[in-house]
Amino acid sequence: MQLPLFPLKTVLLPGNQLPLRIFEPRYSDMIADCMRRNSEFGVVLIFQGEEVNSDIEIFTFGTTAAVTDWQQLSDGLLGITVEGRRRFEVQSTRILHDGLLMADVELLDEQPPQPIPEQFDYMLELLKHVARQHQEIPDDPDFAQMVFQLVYLLPLENTLKQQLLEVPDNYERAMVLHAELIRLGVIQYVKPGR
């Protein structure tokens, strides 16, 4: 499928919300078109370059984004909130005449909702603690939702967030996050069983 891309210096994960200020005409037009057609665009992490430039390098995995809220800001710019929906892999890109990056993407298969394995219950408790300062979390999140929300809220490097976005399996994603939480000293080493 074809998708307009919004390259950013941040990672959008499925189920997460991201506020954006739109000031470039190419993105104002893209957002207006997406809102008119009730369609999505893709958010990808910039590997090299700046958000305002067209000659950038991007990571090839991203997340589709849907506009969930918008408002005209006091400085005249458009403020939107988007929600991450589905992971995708970029197959090819081209730059349109207005500088907008278009991509042929393949939507990635997701695992069906799963309960949180017992060995990762501590992650749910950590999420409840961290989310208390930011937002509400569902009473009974599924495994992937819980991991993505925790990755979103923790102060992790974008390269690690990108790596976790690219991992196809929920259990493997949780194991990578588990190892990082040990490395950061957030938790003591505990060998999770399967």
Q: Which of 6-15, 42-51, 154-163 is least confident? A: 42-51
Ranges for all domains in the chain classified under CATH 1.20.58? 118-183
pLDDT more than 70, % of the chain: 91
Tell me the CATH number of domain 2-107, given options 2.30.130.40, 1.10.8.640, 3.40.50.720, 1.10.1520.10.
2.30.130.40
Q: 118-183, what's its fold?
A: Methane Monooxygenase Hydroxylase; Chain G, domain 1 (1.20.58)
Q: What is the pLDDT of residue 194?
A: 47
Residue pLDDT, tens place only, 15-60: 999 999 998 889 999 999 999 999 999 999 999 987 766 678 999 9
Sorting pLDDT into bands at 50, 70 and 90, what band is 192?
low
Sorting pLDDT into bands at 50, 70 and 90, what band is 97?
very high
How high is the mean pLDDT of the chain?
Answer: 90
Ranges for all domains in the chain classified under CATH 2.30.130.40? 2-107
Q: Which residue type is seen at 85?
A: R
